[in-house]
A and B are shown apart, each in its own frame.
Chain A
């Protein structure tokens, strides 16, 4: 257990080192956020929606704040797979899946906290309808946090599945960009899921990608009422379990393949 804590602490130290680059990144992402919110304001002027603009704005800011959590990946693992040395690691009787799971979790968590928290603070200070709103209720906030944690579990599981694919294919770049696109679109980052056609939303919210950030955000803002909370959290947990099991199975089959082929 202590080993896992140290992974997180080490990651935090590394993130702190690159302060200068981080500030540039925060400003850049805040700019994206402002542009998106401005766009939705202009759209709402033509045709107001059932969902108030404040909620859309909150949605956008939360997506931007935790963007890094979604996309952060482990460069070391990527390198290892590229140059083939992963096969040595796989040969050892150590549980690699969880090792890299925890590592990428540390990267996702620490990276997004460092950037997300300053962004959210600034977003709170923006005028109403342009920034982030406070949660509608305490239970909304709490369930949102729990959902965020479950979302993180799903993100790491998805990342490990992508890595499993990378291990199998000779040239993973095409596959990686496709999976990346799926994630960015269906998680609500490119366009808030709440603005998708209503018929589509019924399906999309069932998919694993909606469990990453869309679910926590909707709980936070009260879009999902408190009564829906158990269902939403259960859905997230269910997907987390499925994705983790799928990932473990894929890693295990990769491992067997590598042992037979000898790397």
Chain B
């Protein structure tokens, strides 16, 4: 396990160095990302400006939710680019065979194959939004709340990684309608950057069971913002995010099952 982590660190280092070879281009793209994420945040600001509240959630609460989702999503894209971006083309151009020739797990190698350092500005925007949101909502931070926040971000990253894996699994099985997965990944991001209890029942169920952002993000956020937890005891705040771990685990198993399938049918 430690050896795998060491390999990941070394791969990341090498890839980062190659990305930073062209500083001018890198800075330009990173700034472009900043503007784009700023645009998303602008949309939230304009919404808050016009509507003030979203049901029982205040405008500042919404900043916090937005920031929490941004941070989680873009950390995942930063460190998990191999799965979130590279894998589909790897299947298409036969690079997957090269991975199978090495004495390491395929999933490990895919993770080690990509990094997206441009997302650093998006993460910064997210952090800013979170700080703004928590300050304006007068959040009183405690040790438990910090713990909940960290757990929420980590498990949400795992959830997002797991959801992106579905795209890879579809690619391996040559499913035509791969775009469907975007509904869960990018759709999930757009939807769940707002509190999930505002949505109608079907969407709530979707985001609690299939893509459990409600459990990894909404519940801890509600706890941090001192909002009612629907009558649940406090310890549930630390248990529900584990659903993100479960999703990642299940998807990894399906992914490896997919690789077995790939090896029996060829490309």
Contacts and interface: CB of A to CB of B under 8 A. Distances in A.
Given A173-B32, A181-B39, A197-B49, A20 B54 contact: no
A181 B203 contact: no
B52 interface: yes
Interface in A145-166: none
A171 B28 contact: yes
A193 to B, nearest CB: 10
Contact of A35 (B22, B176, B180, B187): B187
Contacts of A171: 22, 24-25, 28-29
Contacts of A181: 32, 35-36, 39
Contacts, number: 112
B199 A21 contact: no
24 contacts: A20-B177, A23-B177, A24-B176, A24-B178, A27-B179, A28-B183, A28-B187, A32-B183, A35-B190, A35-B191, A38-B199, A47-B50, A173-B25, A173-B28, A173-B29, A174-B25, A174-B28, A174-B29, A177-B29, A178-B32, A184-B39, A191-B46, A196-B46, A197-B46
Interface residues of A, number: 39
A1 interface: no
A42 interface: yes
Contacts of B190: 32, 35-36
Interface in B177-226: 177-180, 182-183, 187, 190-191, 194, 198-200, 203
A25 B179 CA distance: 5
Nearest first, the 3 closest Cβ-Cβ pairs linking A and B are A20-B176, A24-B177, A174-B28
B138 interface: no
A196 B200 CA distance: 25
A195 interface: yes
B33 interface: yes
Interface in A21-73: 21, 23-25, 27-28, 31-32, 34-36, 38-39, 41-47, 49
Given A190-B43, A191-B47, A42 B54 contact: yes
Interface of B: 22, 24-25, 28-29, 31-33, 35-36, 39-40, 42-43, 46-47, 49-55, 176-180, 182-183, 187, 190-191, 194, 198-200, 203
A130 B127 CA distance: 34
B96 to A, nearest CB: 20
Q: Is the interface of A mostly helix, strand, loop or mixed?
A: helix
Interface in A175-204: 175, 177-178, 181, 184-185, 190-191, 195-197
Contacts of A39: 191, 194, 198-199
Contacts of B179: 21, 24-25, 27-28
Contacts of A177: 29, 32-33, 36
A38 B200 contact: yes
A184 B35 CA distance: 13
A66 to B, nearest CB: 17
B183 A27 contact: yes
Given A42-B54, A197-B49, 8 more contacts: A21-B178, A28-B179, A35-B190, A36-B190, A174-B32, A177-B33, A185-B39, A191-B43
